[in-house]
């Protein structure tokens, strides 16, 4: 294997690592932060009660986490990221013969 081939293989492995392991949590963090901070600041500004704002933030973060986790699990068919199951969602439809 030449130095160029080694460099290309390393670059491809790094790109795959970033796409599969780094990008999804970062996107989730950004999305979750925005989704959680909006109701948190609204509750804090309207009630002026830290206790109420804490529970609004807690509820928003749990709800956002469940929603994003479920959406990620249902939408990932592994065609881009390599994560998930390539035939999972569509295998049931493919197994049923047409009438």
Chain-wide mean pLDDT for the chain?
Answer: 74
* Average pLDDT over every residue of 43-56: 91
Spatial CB neighbours of 94, under 8 Å, sequence gap ≥ 6: 87
> 19 in a domain, yes or no?
no
Range of the domain at 64: 28-78+86-95
Instruction: Examine residue 70 and state whether it is found in any structural domain, yes or no.
Output: yes
Residue 41 domain-assigned (yes or no): yes
Q: What is the pLDDT of residue 51?
A: 92
Q: Is the dihedral of CA 71, 74, 80, 85 positive or negative?
A: positive
In this predicted structure, what is the pLDDT of residue 45? Answer: 92
- As for how many domains the chain has, the answer is 1
What's the pLDDT at 83? 62
Asked if residue 17 is part of any domain, the answer here is no
- Given a contact cutoff of 8 angstroms between Cβ atoms, the answer to whether 40 and 49 are in contact is no
For the segment 9-28, the average pLDDT, to the nearest whole number, is 78
The model's pTM: 0.50
Q: Is there a domain that residue 72 lies in?
A: yes
Q: Is residue 56 part of a domain?
A: yes
Assigned domain for 11 exists: no
pLDDT band at 76 (very low <50, low <70, confident <90, very high): low
């Amino acid at each position: 294997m030449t130095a160029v081939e080694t460099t290309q293989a390393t670059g491809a492995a790094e790109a795959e690592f970033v796409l599969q392991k780094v990008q999804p949590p970062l996107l989730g963090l950004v999305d979750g932060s925005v989704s959680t901070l909006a109701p948190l600041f609204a509750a804090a500004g309207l009630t002026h009660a830290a206790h109420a704002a804490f529970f609004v933030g807690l509820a928003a973060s749990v709800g956002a986490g469940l929603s994003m986790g479920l959406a990620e699990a249902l939408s990932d068919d592994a065609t881009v990221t390599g994560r998930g199951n390539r035939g999972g969602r569509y295998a049931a439809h493919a197994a049923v013969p047409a009438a």
